[in-house]
Homo-oligomer: A and B are copies of this chain.
Amino acid sequence: MIETPSLVDQYCHGVLRTELGLGTFETYLGRTPALPAPGTTFFDTQTGFAVRRWCPPLLGLEPHCPPAHYLARRRELGVVETGRRLLRGSGISTYLVDTGLPGDLTGPGEIAAAGAAEAREIVRLELLAEQVADTSGTVDGFLANLAEAVHSAARSAVAFTSVAGVRHGLALAPHPPGPGEVRGAVGRWLAGRRAGGTLTDPVVLRHLLWIAVASGLPLQLQAGTAGPGLRIDRTDPMLLTDFAAATAGLGTDLVLLHGYPYHRHAAHLASVFPHVYADLGPALAHTGARAAAVLAEILELAPFGKLLFSSGARGLPELHVVGARLFREALSRVLGGWVGDGAWSRVDAERVAGLIAAGNARRVYGLVDGSSDGGGHR
C-alpha cells in the first residue's frame, strides 16, 4: 500500500441542487445526452459499476446494491445530506471548480461547505466571452469588455479553461490571430448571434486562448472528448503540439484535460514541453475497474512532476467520490506493484504519489497547503 495525501481535484464541476429520479441519475452516468439503447442501461458501464461499488457504503448501504435501493436511500437522506456525506467521504480537500456549465449546479462556496474542503474557481473562457457578448453592442465594446473580463477573472480565478476542442476541434492555427482578423470574426459572430448563442468561431476561440495565455494563469485545454456525435480524434491532444511550441517560454502553463483515449499523446506532450501538464481524472472515472491500467499507461512517458489528479465530476457528488477513490486505489496499486517488483523504491513511490495527488497541483496553481488562503472558499 502506498500512502496518498488528501487530494487536490484540479478540475471538476458543481453538483445538482435538485432531487434526482433513477432516470435522471442514470443520464449522468452516460457520456452523452443520448438515451441508452433499448434493452440496456448506463448503470451497466464501468462508471455505473464504480458508483455502485464506492458510494452505497458512504450512505450506509452494501456495495453493489441495486440502483433502485441506492436511489431510494438517496431520496431518504435528501440531496443536501447525500452531497455532504459523499463529498466528505471522497478524500478531496481542495476542489478547483469549472463554473462554466449550464444547469442548477452548486458553486465553489457551496462545494467547499458541503465537502468541508477548500474550493477555487476555474473560469471557462467561452462562457465568459458569451456573457460579454450578451452585454456588448459593438466590436470595440466587446473586445474592450472581454479584455477587462479576463483581467478581472484572473484576479480571483485559479485557472482558465477552454472547450475550443469540443467546439471546433484542436486543429486550430497555433499563432494569435491578427487584430484585423479578430475584429472581422467578432463582427460576424456578434451580427449573427442571439443572446445566449454559443461561440464556435475558430478565430474568436484562438483570440480567447491567447488573451488567457497573456494573463499568466494556467490554461486548461479540454482534449480527448467532443460534443455529442462529433469525432473525438479532432480533440487528440497531439493537435496541440504547434500551440504548445508557440506558447513555450511565455510563462503560462498548459494543462491538458481528459486525454483518453489519447492519454499517451498527452503524456508525450508533457514530457517534451516544460510548460505542458497532463490531467488524470476522467480517464479513470470513465474506465472504472480499468483505472489502474489506464493510469499506468499515462505514467509511461509523463514526468512525475507533470501529472495532476482530477475527478472531472459533473452534477453528481457520486462522480467526485468515484474519481477520487478510483484514483487513490489505482495509484496505490500501480506504484505499490512497482515497489513490490523492486523497480521503484518505497520512498520514491510515496513521494511521487504525493506529487500527483496534490503537490503538482499546489505548485502549478499556487495553492497554499493545508490552511485557508485568501481567494478560497471554506
Contacts and interface: CB of A to CB of B under 8 A. Distances in A.
Given A238-B233, A261-B264, A303 B44 contact: yes
Interface in A290-317: 290, 293-294, 296-297, 299-301, 303-306
Contacts of A286: 300-301
Nearest to A293: B296
Interface in A47-69: 49-50, 52-53, 63-64
A191 interface: no
A241 interface: yes
Interface stretch (A13-21, A156-164, A344-352): A344-352
A40 interface: yes
Contacts of A355: 44
Contacts of A149: none
Interface stretch (A31-39, A72-80, A127-135): A31-39
Contacts of A297: 290, 293
Interface in A95-118: none
A49 B305 contact: no
Given A31-B272, A32-B272, A271-B45, A306 B37 contact: yes
A274 B34 contact: yes
Given A301-B286, A342-B53, A40 B272 contact: no
A63 B230 contact: no
Interface string A216-231: 0000000000001111
B305 A36 contact: yes
A306 B64 contact: no
A274 B230 contact: no
A271 B31 contact: yes
Interface residues of A, number: 70
Nearest to A233: B238
B228 A232 contact: no
Given A31-B271, A231-B242, A49 B299 contact: no
A46 B233 contact: no
Interface centre among A44, A275, A347 (most CB of B within 10 A): A44
Contacts of A378: none
Contact of A40 (B49, B233, B264, B305): B305
A287 interface: yes
Interface centre among A34, A37, A355 (most CB of B within 10 A): A37
Contacts of A45: 271, 303-304
Given A34-B274, A63-B345, A229-B272, 13 more contacts: A34-B248, A36-B303, A36-B305, A41-B305, A46-B301, A49-B344, A63-B342, A228-B272, A229-B244, A232-B241, A232-B268, A261-B264, A290-B296
10 contacts: A31-B271, A37-B274, A40-B306, A44-B305, A44-B352, A46-B299, A64-B344, A232-B268, A261-B301, A286-B301
